Amino acid sequence: MRKVVVAATQMAASWDIAGNLAQAEETVRQAARAGAQIVLLQELFETPYFCIDQNPAHLALAQPYAQHPWLGRFAALARELSVVLPVSFFERAGQTQFNSIAIFDADGSALGVYRKTHIPDGPGYTEKYYFTPGDTGFKVWDTAYGRIGVGICWDQWFPECARAMALAGAEILFYPTAIGSEPHDASLNSRTHWQNVQRGHAAANVMPLVASNRIGTETGETGAITFYGSSFIGGPDGEKIAECNRTESAIITAEFDLDALAEKRRAWGVFRDRRPACYGAIATHGGGAPDGIA
């Protein structure tokens, strides 16, 4: 029996960077006091979601992973509280930038970095201006409390990402997020779709999933986004076990028995009965080459 308590969190962010970092630290401390052993903070919590606009000044926010100005603070926090922390940050690497996440184990050790694979580009979510598509591949991490897979925001819409992490041995999936209204069309509301697609990943892979979003309205130069929170923890059948509301800072937790879930996955047969040789279309953009094209 290997039981683990996970936490999803959500908070608002401002241009008070020191305040955001302090709020994130306090959120982790509160989650640890509630018994959480793995705590997920939201995507790019250091600042507001600057990708609303294409502003070259924001590129200066990126910092290299080595000698990063504040990641060490969260490594020390992980060690102090004996918690695992996936920490989102804007990474500068050579001549480009990535949307990245550093994984700190419960002893504060750095397990490595994942760089966001899928980069969105649409009104208010102009991430291709800032981020190069990740070059790490999908990764899993052996932590003090189990093997975790971590994607970032837009990654969560792709079943291939969740399945790749599950095949690599992930026992719980984590997705830090920044998603809300669509500046070009106020009638669009992706909240239910956002939750349901991730619940599908949990059900298809028979494993829990933790998603942390931000809250509040953030205004850029060309528009505004109201982030809809609704961070949640999904169970291995795709059920919602715990959920935050749309507007308030919050911490939610859930406990899972990883050994019992491993037995359930084996018994259910969704991995035993896979037919990889039949899935070639997955590795193409359009399902295969058109007639007459080799």
Active site residues: 43, 116, 153
Using CA atoms, how far apart are residues 138 and 132, in angstroms rounded to an integer? Answer: 15
264: Cβ–Cβ under 8 A, 6 or more apart, which residues? Answer: 206, 236
Using CA atoms, how far apart are residues 43 and 220, in angstroms rounded to an integer? Answer: 17
DSSP 116: -
Using CA atoms, how far apart are residues 281 and 285, in angstroms rounded to an integer? Answer: 8
- Residue 290: burial class (beta carbons within 10 Å; 0-12, 13-18, 19+): exposed
Between strands 232-234 and 209-212, the pairing is antiparallel
| Beta carbons of 38 and 6 less than 8 angstroms apart | yes
Using CA atoms, how far apart are residues 146 and 158, in angstroms rounded to an integer? Answer: 23
